Amino acid sequence: MRILYVISELSLGGAEKQLVELAKEMVRRGHEVTIYTLNREVPRKAELAGSAVRLIVDQKQSRLDLALLRRLRRTIDSWQPDIVHGFLFDGDFYARVAACGTGIPVLNSERSSNYRLSLVQKVSHLLTRRLADGVVANTYVGRDFAQGLFGLSPADVHVAWNGVSLPEIERNAVAVDDHRLTYFGPGSHRVACLVGAIRPTKDYHLALAVAAQLIADDPCWRVLFVGDKLADVGGTTYRSGSVTEAYKDEVLRHYAQLGLSDKIKFTGLRTDVPAIVRQCDVLYITSVHEGFPNVVLEAMALGVPVVSTEYSDIRRILPFPWQVVASRAPGEIASAMRRAHEQRELLATAQRSWVEANATIEKATAQLERIYRRYVRPESCAAFS
């Protein structure tokens, strides 16, 4: 089977990471895979080295770049993929428009839920959504959302949960540095971490309130925020990241007002996240909505207890109901985090077992293969049955 993936870029986000892992696993299973990016930001390119995944890096010059659409169409015409699969909004749009009229099935992806499209996005989506033959969501909540967004029948909106490569996570979690010591100095600290860009969907104001409450309840705790572009992790200056500067300003002002800069730290953007997470006592999530959280899977695989607010499929993922705090009350989240630390051994075993049973990259790829077979020509499937 020849699979063409179309995505905006291969940046350090979760969707991009998942695509890289899926592409490599598809190749290992005997398929031919090409990833076509619409922008030159491809820091994950090195992760494809030695995998036989073909990467084509292009660059959009405008929101609707007709020249790029023609180049993508030429790639489709010359390579003749059996299926085209878009990732994220731009990847979805360009995939379905470029493949229009070729007879090649096109799938789009849903990686979140309950969001609003901008006016321009809404118009472009409504005009072209019927060009998609199906949608693959990475959560059940996302599936239900996508069904309304695309107007497709339930039979053409599928769920394929994210998966992680357990051997790769173990390799990436090997650390040379003592991150506890680096960020908080000597002492018998307990460290909680939150991983994610500073954006409204992550609710960093709640995350900071939880951190302050946790430390107030037990001064032994420290909190580490990992994963956004900060020029000064002390908190006042930064480079523009993936969200508006205004929201990041608000969050950093909130952080400064807490007066806890010795106990709460921002690491900035890191490429060694698994190694940092492994050295933490608890990982917590305060998201309002998002898709399937890769960092949660990584923490679960590494034996780090997880506590989360309620969103998406998180109740299907975490083994114990009390790990999900529906109230979004800082005190209740902090209490659940302390409980998770106290029951670390129990949670570590249960979480790892869940990942092995439900969310390895092998299982995710097999599910995606089953979905592809519903759409591609029978002769394309025969060689891989």
Q: Are residues 51 and 95 in the same domain?
A: yes
Q: Are 334 and 215 in contact (CB under 8 A)?
A: no
Q: How many domains is the chain partitioned into structurally?
A: 2
The C-alpha atoms of residue 212 and residue 150 are separated, in whole angstroms, by 42
pLDDT higher than 50, residue 236? no
Q: Are residues 6 and 129 in the same domain?
A: yes
Task: Give the structural domain span for 238.
Answer: 166-358
Mean pLDDT over residues 163-186, rounded? 92
Q: Are residues 16 and 28 in the same domain?
A: yes
pLDDT higher than 70, residue 102? yes
Q: Are residues 151 and 15 in the same domain?
A: yes
What pLDDT, on a 0 to 100 scale, did the predictor assign at position 198?
A: 92
Convert the chain into a string of H (helix), E (strand) and C (coil): CEEEEEECCCCCCHHHHHHHHHHHHHHHCCCEEEEEECCCCCHHHHHHCCCCCEEEECCCCCCCCHHHHHHHHHHHHHHCCCEEEEEHHHHHHHHHHHCCCCCCCEEEEECCCCCCCCHHHHHHHHHHHHHCCEEEECCHHHHHHHHHHHCCCHHHEEECCCCECHHHHHHHCCCCCCHHHHHHCCCCCEEEEEECCCCHHHCHHHHHHHHHHHHHHCCCEEEEEECCCCCCCCCCCCCCCCCCHHHHHHHHHHHHHHCCCCCEEEEECCCCHHHHHHCCCEEEECCCCCCCCHHHHHHHHCCCCEEEECCCCHHHHCCCHHHEECCCCHHHHHHHHHHHHHCHHHHHHHHHHHHHHHCEHHHHHHHHHHHHHCCCCHHHHHCCC
Q: Are residues 177 and 154 in the same domain?
A: no
pLDDT higher than 50, residue 347? yes
Residue 366: give its domain's CATH number. 3.40.50.2000
Instruction: Please state, rounded to an integer, the average pLDDT across all residues of the chain.
Output: 92
pLDDT higher than 60, residue 242? no
pLDDT higher than 70, residue 231? no
Question: How does residue 240 score in pLDDT terms, banded at 50, 70 and 90?
Answer: very low
What pLDDT, on a 0 to 100 scale, did the predictor assign at position 377?
A: 82
Q: Are residues 60 and 12 in the same domain?
A: yes
Higher pLDDT, 382 or 322: 322
What pLDDT, on a 0 to 100 scale, did the predictor assign at position 379?
A: 67
pLDDT higher than 80, residue 234? no
What pLDDT, on a 0 to 100 scale, did the predictor assign at position 237?
A: 35
Q: Are residues 208 and 266 in the same domain?
A: yes
Which amino acid appears at position 265 of this protein?
K
Q: Are residues 201 and 135 in the same domain?
A: no
Higher pLDDT, 112 or 305: 305
Q: Are residues 372 and 341 in the same domain?
A: no
Mean pLDDT over residues 283-292, rounded? 90
Q: Are residues 337 and 193 in the same domain?
A: yes
Q: Are residues 227 and 295 in the same domain?
A: yes
Q: Are residues 207 and 270 in the same domain?
A: yes
